Amino acid sequence: MIHIKNLDIKLGEFRIRNVELKVKKGEFLVLLGPTAAGKSVIIEAIAGLVPIQSGKIMLNNRDITQLKPEHRNISICYQDYNLFPHMNVRNNICYGLRFKKDRNNPQYKKNFKAMVELLKLGDILDRLPLNLSGGEQQRVSLARGLIGNPDVLLLDEPLSALDPNIKTSIQEELKNIHQALHTTIIMVTHDFIEANYLAQRVAIVHEGEIIQQGYLEDIFQKPKSVFAARFIGVKNIFWVKNPEELSFFGLKEPAYIGIRPENIYVSHQPVNTDYQFEGKVGYVQNNQIYMEIECRNSTRNYLSYLTINRFFELNLKKDMPIYFGFNKEYLIHINK
């Protein structure tokens, strides 16, 4: 339903190049990429908020490239909420309705009630934004964006300004909203974990270009580039070129391979995996929900993530001899 064709944008020195993107009706697409990759510029272009150099934006088979933002029926929510500070929560939520031709449509009253219920805003309707927590502000911002039945809801890093507990609950609410309303959502984030939780499809943005897009599982299993692989959490990426290693990994020509750290099995006993190594523990780092272990082998160092339980079970210490390995299905072949 949204089709972006060959989009080019130039903002000072920064450029967005040749963006091709299709988003189906009711889909949750995540634009994933590092800071300053151009993700926000892409969604602002969809909303009509930045001038584009060339390309087309089609919405429901209608060319909206030249339409002003107010005529697109695409709403945007930012990470810093941007609630109108001079209006209470109720007026913030209903702000957009005053500009609608069918503002008296009873459907909007129903939407208001549904939003208030879905996002638990009943107790704060008369409060000003100044007196709301970050989580409450983001809920109001979402309700404000959704009340007018937008064709597309654009979310620019909606979770990144929130503290971890609130982030989890808003993330959950976003998922609920999407399931309940089937609104088409395009969300921008730099956090793969958020994308993993929310997205049906992902587009990876790097230096102003979409370098890969597809269903989450596909991107997760088959990242097409070293950058994409790194960005989705493949920590072990190696350039394999010597004949011994090529034959070990079953490769015909030099190539990049990748292995997710959580797929590397570590033990005190020889392991029963397709690829097996003998080595010793490099460093150990506690990452609060998992342990990061460097497994040193005579040829390469691999990074492995162990659960805290497994780590204590093995009682690993620096320089301790270990066996480690992984199965064939976890070996990722990366094109470039």
Partner 1 sequence: MGKRFELLYIIAAITGFIILFFNVFPILNTFYWTDLDTIKETIVDKEVLASIWLSVKCASITTVIAFFLGIPLAYYLARHEFKFKNLIESLVDIPMVIPHTVAGICLLTVLSPRSPIGHFLDKNNIETLGTEIGIVIAMLFVSMPLLVDSAKDAFKWVPTRMENVSRSLGATQMQTFLGVTFILSWRGILSGMIVTWARAISEFGAVIILAYHPMIAPTLIYERFTTYGMKYAVPSNIILIAISIIIFIILRLVSLGGKEKHDTH
Q: Which of 8, 80, 209, 245 binds partner 1 (CB under 8 A)?
A: 80
For partner 1, the binding residues in 83-122 under the rule CB under 8 A are: 84-86, 95-96, 99-100
The C-alpha atoms of residue 5 and residue 84 are separated, in whole angstroms, by 34
Q: Give the nearer residue to partner 1 in terms of CB position, either 125 or 240.
A: 125
Q: Does 14 bind partner 1 (CB under 8 A)?
A: no
Q: Give the nearer residue to partner 1 in terms of CB position, either 6 or 133.
A: 133
Q: Does 78 bind partner 1 (CB under 8 A)?
A: yes
265-267/255-259 β-pairing: unpaired
Min. distance of Cβ 91 from partner 1 in angstroms?
11
Q: Which of 128, 166, 181, 240 binds partner 1 (CB under 8 A)?
A: 128
Q: Give the nearer residue to partner 1 in terms of CB position, either 127 or 280.
A: 127
Q: Is the dihedral of CA 2, 93, 40, 201 positive or negative?
A: negative
Please say whether the beta carbons of 194 and 170 come within 8 A. no
Q: Does 133 bind partner 1 (CB under 8 A)?
A: no
The C-alpha atoms of residue 42 and residue 14 are separated, in whole angstroms, by 12
SS3 state of residue 245: helix
x/- site string to partner 1, residues 32 to 71, per CB under 8 A?
A: ------------x--xxx------------------xxx-
SS3 state of residue 182: coil
**CA geometry: angle 12, 74, 146, nearest 5 deg:** 130
Instruction: Identify which range of 79-87, 161-169, 194-202, 252-260 contacts partner 1 by CB under 8 A.
Output: 79-87
The C-alpha atoms of residue 203 and residue 75 are separated, in whole angstroms, by 20
Q: Does 131 bind partner 1 (CB under 8 A)?
A: yes
Q: What is the DSSP string of 16-82?
A: EEEEEEEE-TT-EEEEE--TTSSHHHHHHHHTT-S--SEEEEEETTEE-TTS-GGGS-EEEEETT--
Q: Does 72 bind partner 1 (CB under 8 A)?
A: yes
Interface positions with partner 1 (CB under 8 A): 44, 47-49, 68-70, 72-78, 80, 82, 84-86, 95-96, 99-100, 128, 130-131, 141, 144-145, 148, 154
